[in-house]
Amino acid sequence: TGGVTYDPGFMNTAATKSAITFIDGDAGILRYRGYPIEQLAEKSSFLETSYLLIYGNLPSATELEAFDQKIRRHTLLHEELKGFFGGFPRDAHPMPVLSSAVTALSTWYQDSLDPFDEEQVELSTIRLLAKMPVLAAYAHKKSIGQALLYPDNSMNLVENFMRLSFGLAAEPYEMDPVIVKALDQLLILHADHEQNCSTSTVRLVGSSNANMFASVSAGINALSGPAHGGANEAVLQMLRQIQSEGLKPADFMEKVKNKEDGIRLMGFGHRVYKNYDPRAKIIKSTAHEILNKLGGNDELLDIAMSLEERALSDDYFISRKLYPNVDFYTGLIYKAMGFPEKMFTVLFAIGRLPGWIAQYREMLQDPEMKIGRPRQLFVGETERNYPNR
Ligand code: CMC
């Protein structure tokens, strides 16, 4: 192999050192900066967890307050940027709208693009955290033909996002604290996951010294695929298909096991977890709570539980160590909260943002950082001469 290691899909290659997130896939352990995910999900907030991931330690009360205030001050978008949303077809998927809008931030906020200027990196951090939920909510509002509301900075990040997504200009928006709490917790669970496809993409793009907006936008595109973040939308499509075609979960499982048409049980399996995904454990109980409270589609939840039960006792899944991952139950919760399916992966992106930023910043600080440039094994034609014609 000419001194080059062949490792398709980077199954075994560590491309970086990192002090942010620890995963033990065999034991089903996930920690951000040393803190177990279960404790953060129960006790922290998305804002606090974002601070933890980006700056390395939990903030003091004063630091958290200052961070919160800074983010609230940056929620407004340049007025002209709003016109941007009219440039897409109404039925556009909000993921490409979001990634385009995040790239567009680099044209309106040119004073925070330099990756070698710490103040500019800090400013783009705050701008992204504050503005990306607003961009996401606007992508949704445009798709349903409703007016874009201005952010209300008396609200925190998650409350603002809910109001911008569901509020109407002519009516006060009634916040449901149970939904806000549940969404906040889901965002914590998605906030980082070490060198997954989208995060590695952010690092790879950033390694060419591209600015943070460009790098995060690339991460959003990487997240959109159904093998990655797009799985949460794909799970719901799968459950609805089983329901509408009146398929028995057992028959669907046979199709999966026979690999008919390449069907996979979406929301199952993971490159690193060979055990129950610790995030899925927490999400499963939230799904029950939220669906009980909001009266979601119980039949879809029943189908999901039946699929899970069968998979966990089936040799095909046991021998391959396939367990439910973070995406298996989230779609059901998002749906019960009122989000359309197309928004599910956008919610994942909002959650993953602090992780992308933390990893991008860690890369910039790394003295061993080099431009990412994988090698290849060339398997094409050897030299041949262009014919005389
Ligand atoms: N349903 C049925 N079979 C599966 C599944 C599944 N969901 N996942 C893996 N397998 C089988 C696969 O066919 C292969 O079998 P065999 O050894 O007979 O060829 C074996 O398990 C190993 O699979 P792989 O594709 O080599 O594993 P990977 O580490 O490359 O892929 C994965 C990981 C997440 C892409 C894959 O499990 C998958 O496609 N899952 C469904 C999509 C999904 O839920 N993605 C979300 C991932 S978690 C959070 C996120 O990133 O968003």
Distance (Å) from CA 270 to ligand 1 centroid: 6
Task: Note if 270 is an active site residue.
Answer: yes
**How many of the other CB atoms lie within 10 Å of CB of 227?**
12
348 falls in which pLDDT band (50, 70, 90)?
very high
CB 270 within 8 A of CB 277: yes
- On the question of pLDDT at 346 being above 70, the answer is yes
CB 234 within 8 A of CB 226: yes
Q: Is 270 in the pocket of ligand 1 (CB under 6 A)?
A: yes
1 falls in which pLDDT band (50, 70, 90)?
low
**Closest ligand 1 atom number to CA of residue 235:** 44
Which residue, by CA, sits nearest to atom 35 of ligand 1? 227
- What would the pLDDT profile of 167-226 be if each residue is shown by its tens digit? 998 898 999 999 999 999 999 999 999 999 999 999 999 999 999 999 999 999 999 999
Mean pLDDT of 324-350: 94
Mutate to test the pocket of ligand 1, among 268, 345, 346 (most ligand atoms within 8 A of CB): 268
Distance (Å) from CA 337 to ligand 1 centroid: 28
Cα 210 from Cα 229, distance rounded (Å): 23
Q: What are 354's two structure tokens?
A: 């602090």
Distance (Å) from CA 200 to ligand 1 centroid: 18
Q: Is 277 in the pocket of ligand 1 (CB under 6 A)?
A: no
295 falls in which pLDDT band (50, 70, 90)?
confident
Q: Is 271 in the pocket of ligand 1 (CB under 6 A)?
A: yes
What CATH class is the domain 18-222+355-365?
mainly alpha
Most confident of 58-62, 175-179, 308-312: 58-62
Q: Which of 13-17, 73-77, 172-176 has the lowest mean pLDDT?
A: 172-176
ipTM of the complex: 0.97
pTM of the model: 0.95
CB 304 within 8 A of CB 272: no
Cα 182 from Cα 190, distance rounded (Å): 13
Task: Note if 302 is an active site residue.
Answer: no
297 falls in which pLDDT band (50, 70, 90)?
low
> Taking all residues of the chain, what is their mean pLDDT, rounded to a whole number?
95
pLDDT at position 371 is 97
**Phi, psi angles (nearest 5°) of residue 303:** -60, -45
- What would the pLDDT profile of 251-263 be if each residue is shown by its tens digit? 999 999 999 988 9
| In this structure, CATH architecture of domain 231-337 | Orthogonal Bundle (1.10)
pLDDT at position 287 is 87
**How many of the other CB atoms lie within 10 Å of CB of 58?**
15
> Amino acid identity of 186?
L
* Residue spans per domain, the chain: 18-222+355-365, 231-337
